[in-house]
Amino acid sequence: MSRWLPAFLLPALLMPGGTTLAQDAGPVAAGRAIALQHCARCHVIDPANGLGGIGSTPSFKLLMTLPDGEHRFVTFFDRRPHGAFIRMEGVEPLTTLPPSAAEIKLSADDLDAILAFVQTLK
């Protein structure tokens, strides 16, 4: 079985509120689904959105080639511009201003799943 899920399966895998049915398939599949749902509007995640993202925004694969790539993922919600619209469960927002883009709420489990997925991109 391929580790890449076809993009057309994402609506069936994603549930409201950040919960994913993909978690049953394991953290890598869940992390990929979460990344495609929330991060693909700016980043290329994998071949499923290879022509997407914003041109000046690094792909997940490129980020994982950097010496501090894994650390960047662990701390992404505190890095610009993420702090303006990412809300991590149990972490105070960087600002009390309203989000500058559609707000994304993530849990520690979501972050762990994303990290499991990006580890496959090394």
**72-120 pLDDT, tens digit each:** 999 998 888 888 888 888 888 877 888 888 889 999 999 999 999 999 9
Tokens 């609506």 sit at which residue? 11
Angle (CA) 108 113 116, round 5°? 125
pLDDT tens, residue by residue, 44-73: 999 989 999 898 899 999 999 999 999 999
CA–CA gap between residue 64 and residue 120 (Å, rounded):
9
- Predicted confidence at residue 60, as pLDDT, reads 96
**CA quadruple 89, 94, 98, 103: dihedral positive or negative?**
negative
- How many beta carbons lie within 10 A of that of residue 60, not counting itself? 22
Residue 122 burial (C-beta neighbours within 10 Å; 0-12, 13-18, 19+):
exposed
3-state SS of 79-101 is CCCHHHCEEECCCCCCCCCCCCC
Report whether pLDDT(19) > 50.
no
CA–CA gap between residue 99 and residue 83 (Å, rounded):
9
Tokens 């978690």 sit at which residue? 23
- Predicted confidence at residue 80, as pLDDT, reads 87
